[in-house]
């Protein structure tokens, strides 16, 4: 029996590599990640041995080779499988997202995060998280109020409801910019841009918010989660 159904071929582009100059991936490895490592060093009281490893990693990001992760982490078996195709290759030649995640996992290994019982584990990013949270707490409260008020608008999907939905979609988009590589003072500037989407409207290359709002408006008894 012959299957006459047409098969659709999707041409998926090659993954973005960190070695592509003038790309965000290259900028991340040459600027953002070294800053993150510096912040980890400055915010923690690590031993000289750990500091030496962190400084070596920061200085050699563009020439660092991929090697197995060897610590007591519960994910160590999974990482062994993940890394198998890339062992011995330059880190910068890996697909960008995987390379970045691998680097963060390396940071945990170097700082011996899994070497102690869970209750004693030191989060190398704790100080940065606390400072950023303290700086953004006012905006977090404002966003929480918007989220709390949204269900009361859902009964009538009127213009006010659509405007509220648009704002949540923009919060979802621009909230993704909040990153550990931003200093707390920079978070303060970004949060105002996030709370007032009009400030960043001109920077959206393709805006299908209207289509999304129309689609969601047609839903009934569906659950939609917003990550902001």
pLDDT digits (tens, 9 = 90+) for 64-101: 899 999 898 999 999 999 999 999 999 988 999 899 99
Nearest-5° Cα angle at 76, 89 to 82: 40
Name the pLDDT band for 1 (thresholds 50, 70, 90): very low
CATH code for residues 24-120: 1.20.930
Domain boundaries, the chain: 24-120, 126-217
Is the separation of the CB atoms in 124 and 44 below 8 Å? yes
> Which residues lie closer than 8 Å to 116 by C-beta, 6 or more apart?
122
Is the separation of the CB atoms in 150 and 122 below 8 Å? no
For residues 48 and 165, the model is more confident at: 48
Please, where are the H alpha helices in the chain? 24-27, 33-43, 48-59, 76-83, 96-110, 126-153, 159-174, 184-195, 209-217
146 class by beta-carbon count within 10 Å (0-12 exposed, 13-18 middle, 19+ buried): middle
Nearest 10 degrees: Cα torsion 50, 53, 55, 60: -160
pLDDT score at 85: 93
How many whole angstroms separate alpha carbon 171 and alpha carbon 189? 15
Looking at residues 109-135, what average pLDDT do you find? Answer: 82
Cα separations in angstroms, 36 against 104, 108, 217: 10, 13, 41
* pTM metric for this prediction: 0.71
Name the pLDDT band for 132 (thresholds 50, 70, 90): confident
| pLDDT tens sequence across 21-53 | 888 889 889 888 999 999 999 999 999 999 999
- Residue closest to 57 by CA, chosen among 94, 111, 128, 121: 111
Q: What is the DSSP letter of 13?
A: P
How many whole angstroms separate alpha carbon 39 and alpha carbon 123? 13
């Amino acid at each position: 029996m012959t299957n006459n159904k047409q098969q659709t071929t999707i041409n998926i582009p090659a993954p973005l590599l960190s070695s592509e100059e003038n790309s965000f991936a290259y900028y991340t490895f040459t600027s953002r990640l070294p800053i993150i490592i510096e912040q980890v060093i400055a915010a923690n009281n690590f031993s000289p041995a750990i500091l030496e490893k962190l400084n070596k990693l920061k200085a050699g990001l563009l020439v660092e080779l991929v090697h197995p992760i060897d610590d007591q982490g519960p994910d160590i078996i999974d990482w062994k499988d993940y890394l198998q195709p890339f062992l011995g290759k330059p880190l910068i030649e890996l697909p960008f997202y995987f390379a970045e995640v691998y680097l963060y996992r390396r940071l945990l290994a170097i700082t011996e995060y899994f070497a102690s019982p869970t209750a004693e584990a030191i989060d190398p990013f704790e100080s940065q998280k606390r400072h950023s949270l303290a700086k953004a707490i006012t905006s977090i409260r404002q966003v929480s109020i918007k989220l709390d008020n949204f269900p009361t608008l859902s009964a009538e999907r009127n213009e006010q409801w659509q405007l509220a939905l648009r704002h949540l979609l923009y919060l979802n988009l621009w909230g993704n910019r909040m990153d550990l590589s931003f200093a707390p003072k920079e978070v303060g500037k970004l949060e105002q841009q996030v709370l007032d989407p009009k400030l960043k409207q001109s920077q959206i290359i393709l805006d299908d918010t209207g289509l999304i709002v129309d689609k969601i408006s047609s839903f009934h008894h569906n659950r939609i989660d917003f990550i902001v």
